Every structure is written in structure tokens, then in C-alpha cells.
């Protein structure tokens, strides 16, 4: 069954939505989005300075990610993110230093000790499972993780994130179908940013909405404005409730846009016009949320200034910390590939 976010939130007005989420959570969302954007911009700068080889980041998709993360229980629910999920990771509890250590491929990087490509997140304390580079491989993994949770009698849900390009893979079909047949407690969260690298949505699928694909599996499908973190929070919260109640998986499509090239190795000018990017920036989720906060009497220029200063300090600290941190010792190259026997006593 396909619903739109408008229907999903029924006739609730913005005020009711703000009330539902609470001022504290709304302010926390804004802080994370601003911090994520600032970290993201710094990552591109250090890449262009030649200090790190590669970045792949979240600019434009912050609202979708923070809205989803806030609906989850960090460290309890199982999360299978994809490479564009920096804001999601920040909102779950990965620190700015940890994110920068990852980009600098340092030994202290908690994701892989500097071995994996950047943005291949993995963090046991947050139950974030490591993923592979082929897109969509985390989708059947998520079905398996949700089945494991059920067999263990846990009440956790599994949250799995990916782009719309990933929904054109065989792994998407196998993972979603398996989860649907077993009615597993899993949320499939698609961030539809309209492009799979250079390929626009219309050239990768014949449906207009990724959420429409849910019908083929007999599960709930919801399309939501990915630039609105409150709407995303509500839709993901409903999916979490459904999963916990034993009502099975949900496929959520958060419609969004990527403001920067696919990666630092991409030149997006060859496949999309500047006009299109500029147009989409008019719905930049950060000023959109700031306007709502101001309207609700929760924000003003002084608070904005204080936040910008705090964020600049955090980004400077994370960058300096990661830059001076030592690289991995080549002698440990095979660590994390195999289980290591406990030392003999
Ligand atoms: C199976 C597979 N095919 C191709 C690639 C190359 N590739 C890496 S990212 C990407 C785009 C994926 O697009 P989407 O899922 O929409 O996510 P987005 O990067 O747009 O957020 C592609 C084609 C890959 N990694 N794996």
C-alpha cells in the first residue's frame, strides 16, 4: 500500500508536528544538521588540499538522516547505513573526531582502523554493522540481522539505508522479499536524491516513486519529503512501531537532493545543470528548519551566532586531532579480517 507523507501525518499542522517532536529534539536536530554540514564542508577542503584521498558526503540529505536517526534507539536498534550517512552517524552518536579519523584513515578510526574506504561505517557500540562497497549488499544483510534479532527474542528493529540506485539491484529484491515473507522487524530507508552517480532516476526505473515498489512485496510503502526532518521522524517512528508490533517491514522513500558531486572524484557538471542544483538549494533543509525554529520562537540571531562558533571549534578540533593522529601500523594489516584467538594465559 502506497501512502504519501501528507496522508501519513493526516491533517496534522506544522504546529502539531512540532509539538509531537518537542522543542528539545527539534533544536538537537538543527544542531546536528549544522554540525554535519560544517564537518562535510571541511572534509571537501582537506581533500582538495591533498591531505586525504577521497570523500563521499551527505550535503543536502541531512534532514532525512537526522529525522530517521532520532526515531531509533542508538545502541539498541541495529543499523546498516550506506556511505552517504554521515549525518545519520552523527545523530546516532559517532563523534566528529571519529568521523575525521575515518576520513584521514588513521589507526584510531573506529570504523576499520583506517583500512576501509572512508564512509564505510561500522561501530559495535552503536550496533552499526559494517557494509561492502557494492551498492545494496546491506539490504539482505539487514533482513538477516532482523531475523537474528527475532530469533534472539530482542525487541530491536533493524534500520537499513541506501540510495534509489540501490533499489535497482538484485540485492534489494532478495532482501526486501525475504523480509516481507517473514514479516521481519526491518525498515528499508531509501534516500532518493534523484541520481545514481550520473544516472537520473528516470533512466534507472520505470516507477515515479521508489515507495511504489513496496506493493510488489506486499509491504507498506511511504514517500516523505526528505527535506523535512519532522516528517521523516514521524514516518520512521510509525515504521518502528509497526516493526515492533510484528506488522513487518516498511519501505520509506525520503525524497531529497545531493548538493555536491557524488564523490570528490566526480564532476557533476557533466550530467546536471547548475540551474537544477541552484533550484534545489532553495529547499536546503538547514535554512528551512531554522525558519521553523524562528517561527516557533525557539531561535534567534544570537543563538545562531553561538552555534556557528561552537561548530567551528568542534570542526577545527576534529580536523587537528585526526591530522596529527598516527596512521595504521602496516604490521597490523590483517587485523579485523579474521577473528583473533584470545591470548593464552
Ligand atoms: C553493485 C554496484 N554497482 C555499481 C557500483 C558503483 N557505484 C557506487 S555508488 C553508485 C551510485 C549509487 O546510487 P544510489 O544508490 O542512488 O546512492 P547515492 O550515491 O545517489 O546516494 C554506483 C553506481 C557499486 N558500488 N556497486
pLDDT tens digit string along 121-157? 999 999 999 989 999 999 999 999 999 999 999 999 9
| Mean pLDDT for the stretch of residues 299-314 | 98
Confidence of residue 93 (pLDDT cuts 50, 70, 90): very high
Q: Which of 13-27, 77-91, 164-178, 209-223 has the lowest mean pLDDT?
A: 13-27
Confidence of residue 333 (pLDDT cuts 50, 70, 90): confident
Ligand 1 neighbourhood includes 188 CB (under 6 angstroms) = no
pLDDT confidence of residue 33: 98
Q: Could you tell me what percent of the chain has a pLDDT over 70?
A: 94
Catalytic site positions: 258, 262, 271
Q: 137 C-alpha vs ligand 1 centroid, how far in Å?
A: 11
Ligand 1 neighbourhood includes 104 CB (under 6 angstroms) = no
**Pairs from 211-216 (Cβ < 8 Å, separation ≥ 24):** 211/2, 211/251, 211/252, 211/253, 212/2, 213/167, 213/176, 213/251, 214/1, 214/2, 214/250, 214/251, 215/1, 215/2
Tell which wins on pLDDT, 42 or 341: 42
Q: Which of 156-160, 248-252, 256-260, 328-332 has the lowest mean pLDDT?
A: 328-332
pLDDT confidence of residue 19: 80
Q: Identify the DSSP state of 123.
A: B
- Residue nearest (by alpha carbon) to ligand 1 atom 23: 196
Give the integer Cα–Cα distance in Å for 48 and 193.
Answer: 24
Residue 77 has pLDDT above 80, yes or no: yes
97, 185, 83: which is closest to 128 by C-alpha? 83
pLDDT confidence of residue 67: 98
Looking at every residue in the chain, the average pLDDT score rounds to 94
CA distances (Å), 71 to each of 48, 88, 159, 267, in order? 35, 11, 10, 34
Which residue out of 56, 161, 197 has the highest number of ligand 1 atoms within 8 Å of its CB and is therefore the one to mutate? 197
Q: 192 C-alpha vs ligand 1 centroid, how far in Å?
A: 12
Ligand 1 neighbourhood includes 131 CB (under 6 angstroms) = no
Q: Which residues contact 244 (CB under 8 A, 6 or more apart)?
A: 155, 157, 185
Q: Could you tell me what percent of the chain has a pLDDT over 90?
A: 89
Q: For the whole model, what pTM was predicted? A: 0.94
- Residue nearest (by alpha carbon) to ligand 1 atom 26: 134
Residue 20 has pLDDT above 90, yes or no: no
Find the helix or strand (DSSP H, E) in which 39 lies: helix 23-48
Q: 308 C-alpha vs ligand 1 centroid, how far in Å?
A: 33
**Pairs from 120-127 (Cβ < 8 Å, separation ≥ 24):** 120/83, 121/81, 121/83, 121/85, 121/89, 121/94, 123/89, 123/94, 123/98, 125/75, 125/93, 126/74, 126/75, 126/79, 126/92, 126/93, 126/94, 127/75, 127/76, 127/77, 127/78, 127/79, 127/156
Amino acid at each position: 500500500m502506497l501512502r504519501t507523507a501528507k496522508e501519513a501525518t493526516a491533517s496534522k499542522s506544522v504546529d502539531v508536528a512540532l509539538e509531537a517532536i518537542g522543542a528539545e529534539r527539534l533544536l538537537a536536530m538543527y544542531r546536528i544538521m549544522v554540525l554535519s554540514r560544517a564537518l562535510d564542508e571541511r572534509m571537501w577542503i582537506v581533500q582538495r588540499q591533498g591531505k586525504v584521498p577521497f570523500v563521499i558526503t551527505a550535503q543536502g540529505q541531512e534532514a532525512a538522516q537526522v529525522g530517521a536517526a532520532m526515531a531509533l534507539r542508538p545502541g539498541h536498534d541495529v543499523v546498516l547505513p550506506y556511505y552517504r550517512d554521515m549525518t545519520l552517524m552523527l545523530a546516532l552518536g559517532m563523534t566528529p573526531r571519529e568521523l575525521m579519523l575515518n576520513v584521514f584513515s588513521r589507526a584510531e578510526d573506529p570504523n576499520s582502523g583506517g583500512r576501509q574506504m572512508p564512509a564505510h561505517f561500522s561501530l559495535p557500540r552503536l550496533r552499526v554493522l559494517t557494509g561492502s562497497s557494492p551498492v545494496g549488499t546491506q539490504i539482505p544483510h539487514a533482513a538477516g540481522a532482523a531475523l537474528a534479532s527475532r530469533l534472539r527474542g530482542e525487541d530491536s528493529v533493524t534500520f537499513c539505508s541506501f540510495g534509489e540506485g540501490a533499489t535497482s539491484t538484485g540485492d534489494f529484491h532478495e532482501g526486501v522479499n525475504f523480509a516481507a515473507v517473514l514479516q521481519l522487524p526491518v525498515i528499508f530507508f531509501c534516500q532518493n536524491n534523484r541520481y545514481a552517480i550520473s544516472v537520473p532516476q528516470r533512466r534507472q526505473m520505470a516507477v515515479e516513486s521508489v515507495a511504489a515498489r513496496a506493493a510488489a512485496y506486499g509491504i507498506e510503502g511511504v514517500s516523505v519529503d526528505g527535506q523535512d526532518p519532522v516528517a521523516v521522524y514521524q514516518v520512521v517512528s510509525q515504521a518502528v512501531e509497526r516493526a515492533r508490533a510484528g506488522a513487518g517491514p516498511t519501505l520509506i522513500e525520503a525524497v531529497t537532493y545531493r548538493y555536491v558531486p557524488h564523490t570528490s572524484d566526480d564532476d557533476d557538471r557533466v550530467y546536471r545543470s547548475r540551474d537544477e542544483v541552484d533550484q534545489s538549494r532553495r529547499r536546503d533543509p538547514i535554512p528551512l528548519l531554522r525558519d521553523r525554529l524562528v517561527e516557533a520562537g525557539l531561535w534567534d540571531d544570537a543563538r545562531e551566532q553561538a552555534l556557528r562558533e561552537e561548530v567551528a571549534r568542534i570542526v577545527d578540533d576534529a580536523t587537528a586531532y585526526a591530522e596529527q593522529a598516527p596512521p595504521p601500523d602496516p604490521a597490523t594489516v590483517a587485523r579485523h579480517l579474521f577473528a583473533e584467538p584470545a591470548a593464552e594465559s
